Amino acid sequence: MIPVRGFEGQVVGVLGLGRSGIATIRALQAGGAEVVVWDDGARAGELAAAEGVALRDFAKPGGCADLACLVTSPGIPHLYPAPHPAIAEALAAGVPVDNDIGLFFRSLAGADWAMMEQPPKVVAVTGSNGKSTTSALIAHVLREAGREVQLAGNIGRGVLDIDPPGDGGIVVLELSSYQTELARALTPDVGVFTNLSPDHLDRHGGPGGYFAAKRRLFAEGGPDRCVIGVDEVEGRFLANQLSVGPGDDRVIRVSSAGKLSGPGWLVFAKKGFLAEYRKGRQVGAIDLREISGLPGAHNHQNACAAYAVARSLGMGPRQIEAALKSFAGLPHRSQKIAEIAGVAYVNDSKATNVDSARQALRAFRKIRWICGGLEKEGGVAPLLSDAAEVRKAYVIGREAAHVAMQLKGIEVEICGDMGTAVARAHAEAEAGDTVLLAPACASFDQYDSFEKRGDDFVARVQALA
């Protein structure tokens, strides 16, 4: 646990009693704060009693008056489309609003760090797609090199629940836009920006607000080293703002769209080969094509980012290459489940938006595509230009008929549910085909999460096998 500093003897409110909320309560208490809590769920009283804290409705008049800070969970809106009533009350009372990420950065460094040979470092990863794989891959590469590594944030443990890092320890954080937008302290040693595509726009007031939330990690966090994906204009703009000139190697530009050029520090993947250039000269190369845990160009971008981070932390190219080859991949992200009679079954349930589904469609051939769910803004029609390898689409979800209508020029079958879709794809697939779950939609019409949706797909495929 990371005890939260700076609130000894003060009253701090915690809004939301999920995983991060419970960890925050315990970390605040360990730091000497008096904690009061609120959650809109039916189990709020039970959860508060289990932690030995008082329940208080912060949204009531005066509910925040004595608070030194209100700490909110990431899923609770604090600005758009409208602040939660408790946060609105805190704003009106002038009470600082923060989250567990902000508390983590203000509390991580201890007095013992001055005695360490290598003070711990924090690597923070944000972006639209690839955050989880990139974060896990960075942690895997560093562990393979014998480094002490903890993985936290949106993946692994809650940030305040980790152990205090030791001499030379590294904390790798996956951070969403909800977390970077609100955190009052952001001081990573290495910041990573994977890419940007439209997502969560209602929570950020549009694409500008969404990008601004990501940008805070770099503009306000001031990392010593920045690894920036430059395949979109936002990444190129961010890299430009962070560097003082073309040769500034504090910024490492990465790409999976083709060769980069210039005098700076560059890592890119072209036709399945990763290359590293510094000052105009190639200094490293890796063949990514046969690494089974990293299929497709989108995973090659993740590999480039992880490679760049590892290089910035002192690892050599051959050392990184060996670690990449042993990476097994993450569940629900281009995860090969089985091969049955020459047909591959791939679970990419994490492809909850158009851009992530596009990457999955580009990564495989002869696709029998299971898609659909709760549509996001813009629908799935933009994927038609990437559907050349789709033999047939099997559409699930509450909005299956509307999704199917958008897939013009593709053979489509409305299946409604996962069981029917898997059965129909299995019955029609031929050797060499890939049955791919890449929904391009949220899961919440039929499942509690994309993980539950992916687990359902996996269970049905395993039953076939």
Q: Which residues are annotated as a binding site?
A: 127-133
Residue 465: pLDDT band (50, 70, 90) is: confident
Among 2-6, 186-190, 270-274, 328-332, where is mean pLDDT lowest? 328-332
Q: Looking at beta carbons, which pairs linking 345-348 to residues 24 or more positions away fall under 8 Å?
A: 345/434, 345/435, 345/461, 346/434, 346/435, 346/436, 346/437, 347/437, 347/454, 347/457, 347/458, 347/461, 348/436, 348/437, 348/438
pLDDT higher than threshold 90 for residue 164: yes
pLDDT higher than threshold 80 for residue 62: yes
Give me the pLDDT at residue 200, please: 74
Which CA distances in Å does 189 have to 173, 177, 196, 204, 403? 11, 19, 22, 26, 43
Q: Which domains does the chain have, with CATH numbers?
A: 11-98 (3.40.50.720), 105-325 (3.40.1190.10), 335-464 (3.90.190.20)
Give me the pLDDT at residue 175, please: 96
Q: What is the rounded average pLDDT of the residues 112-129?
A: 94
Counting residues of the chain whose pLDDT is more than 90, the rounded percentage is 87
Q: Tell the burial category of 257 from Cβ atoms under 10 Å away from its Cβ (0-12, 13-18, 19+).
A: middle
Give me the pLDDT at residue 329, please: 83
Residue 296: pLDDT band (50, 70, 90) is: confident
pLDDT higher than threshold 90 for residue 157: no
Q: What is the pLDDT of residues 212-250, one digit of tens each?
A: 999 999 998 899 999 999 999 999 999 999 999 989 999
Average pLDDT, rounded, for the chain: 95
Q: What is the pLDDT of residues 345-378, one digit of tens each?
A: 999 999 999 988 998 999 899 999 999 999 988 8
Q: What is the pLDDT of residues 143-155, one digit of tens each?
A: 999 999 999 998 8
Note the pTM of the prediction, 2 decimals.
0.86
Half-sphere exposure of 79 (CA within 13 A, CB side): 17
Give me the pLDDT at residue 197, please: 85
Q: What is the pLDDT of residues 184-214, one digit of tens each?
A: 999 999 999 999 987 777 888 888 999 999 9
Give me the pLDDT at residue 400, please: 97
Give me the pLDDT at residue 338, please: 93
User: Residue 176 gets which letter from DSSP?
Assistant: -
Q: Looking at per-residue confidence, does 155 or 69 come out higher?
A: 69
Q: Which residues are annotated as a binding site for ATP?
A: 127-133
| Residue the block writes with tokens 């051959």 | 318
Handedness of CA 85, 87, 88, 93 (dihedral sign): positive
Which residues touch 448 (CB under 8 Å, ≥6 apart)? none
pLDDT higher than threshold 90 for residue 111: no
